[in-house]
Amino acid sequence: NFMLTQPHSVSESPGKTVTISCTGSGGSIASNYVQWYQQRPGSAPTTVIYDDDQRPSGVPDRFSGSIDSSSNSASLTISGLKTEDEADYYCQSYDTNNPWVFGGGTKLTVL
């Protein structure tokens, strides 16, 4: 079965750049699109990246997504960090057995 692994937490200062990784195992991460969801405390998730690197309208261009086949991983990069970016971030992709597979989530602290 395909699985996605994320770091439990990351932290960075306002104005800096942070990258959250999402490593696939049991299959190639490049075989299916990856999505990234942001979940602020007490709120529902929202999509910040879809189809590996596409940004929904309304999501700032400080958010970007990429895929690295050599490391079998996806990455979410947030530049010019703001305190409002503090949230949990989840990567998600697809598997033949479970149409949706989620990473465990990464807690981003902006301090």
Partner 1 sequence: EVQLVESGGGLVKPGGSLRLSCVGSGFSFTNAWMSWVRQAPGKGLEWVGRIKSETDGGTTDYAAPVKDRFTISRDDSKNTLYLQMNTLKTEDTAMYYCTALLDALDYWGQGTLVTVSS
Give the residues lining the site for partner 1 (CB under 8 A).
33, 35, 37, 39, 44-47, 50-51, 54, 56, 90, 92, 98-105
Nearer to partner 1 among residue 34 and residue 81 (C-beta): 34
Nearest to 35 by CA among 65, 11, 13, 63: 65
C-alpha dihedral (82, 17, 45, 40), degrees to nearest 10: -40
CB of 13 to partner 1, least distance (A): 26
Nearer to partner 1 among residue 17 and residue 98 (C-beta): 98
